[in-house]
Amino acid sequence: MKVPVIAIDGPSASGKGTVAARVASRLGFHYLDSGSLYRLVALHADLHGIDWDDEATLAQAALTLPATFCDGRVLLSGNDVDQAIRAEHIGIGASRVGALPAVRAALLQRQRDFRATPGLVTDGRDMGSVVFPDADLKIFLTASADERADRRYKQLIGKGESANLPQIRQDIIDRDRRDAARTVAPLRQEPDAFLLDTTELTIDQAVEQVLAWFADRASGA
């Protein structure tokens, strides 16, 4: 029997990861943060002095990366790197390595292997278009650049990190441009994906909307 998949795509800092994780928890489904895989590749490169444009070396690393996900933690070679991969410069690196076709190809099957019973909720930028084109529900989750910058700023300040709001906003705009312009798996809303703009929504409201759409699909409505 086909394992159901909810694919949530969207730009950086739109809240898709938080929404996807909560939807997965409510449904009892597995959860895949696909962006963490690209962040892990960028972190691996950073730790080993590999240029983020070295496509061949990074693709090989992506194939053999000793990465595991356990109890909500991201592990690299058995070390908890969840905080390290969330650093702003690693996010920028993830966007750059994610634009490399060989890296995306190397990670494709690793992502598909997360599909298991009773179901999977996954978020990223090409989940519905490339990784799971047969997903039962596709959602393009977004918010205004100003709102996304404000969320990221508050998140960083809440962690006790320094943050510059105008710079964060510019970084988000630049990343949107790179993600939308790349030749392989560009960021875009698929024709069969629901648009969910969270600019004026709380996380709970966004989660309830996703669950409602999934319930409609499951019932054939």
Tens-place pLDDT, residues 148-174: 999 999 988 988 888 999 999 999 999
Are residues 11 and 5 in contact, defined by beta-carbon separation less than 8 angstroms? no
Is 67 a residue whose pLDDT tops 90?
A: no
25 is in an annotated binding site: no
Q: For the segment 143-152, what is each residue's pLDDT rounded down to a tens digit?
A: 999 999 999 9
What's the pLDDT score for residue 134? 95
Beta pairing class for 120-124 and 5-9: parallel
Quote the pTM value: 0.85
What's the pLDDT score for residue 185? 78
13 is in an annotated binding site: yes
Is 214 a residue whose pLDDT tops 80?
A: yes
Is 71 a residue whose pLDDT tops 80?
A: no
Give the pLDDT band (50/70/90) at residue 69.
confident
144 is in an annotated binding site: no
Please name every residue paired with 124 in a beta bridge, in sequence order, or none if there are none.
9
Are residues 187 and 125 in contact, defined by beta-carbon separation less than 8 angstroms? yes
Is 84 a residue whose pLDDT tops 90?
A: yes
Is 135 a residue whose pLDDT tops 80?
A: yes
10 is in an annotated binding site: yes
Is 87 a residue whose pLDDT tops 80?
A: yes
Is 220 a residue whose pLDDT tops 80?
A: no
138 is in an annotated binding site: no
Residues 6+ apart with CB under 8 A from 125: 9, 10, 11, 34, 35, 98, 179, 185, 187
In order of their start, the domains of the chain are 5-206 (3.40.50.300)
- For the chain, give the longest Cα–Cα distance: 52
What's the pLDDT score for residue 221? 59
Question: What average pLDDT is seen over the chain?
Answer: 91
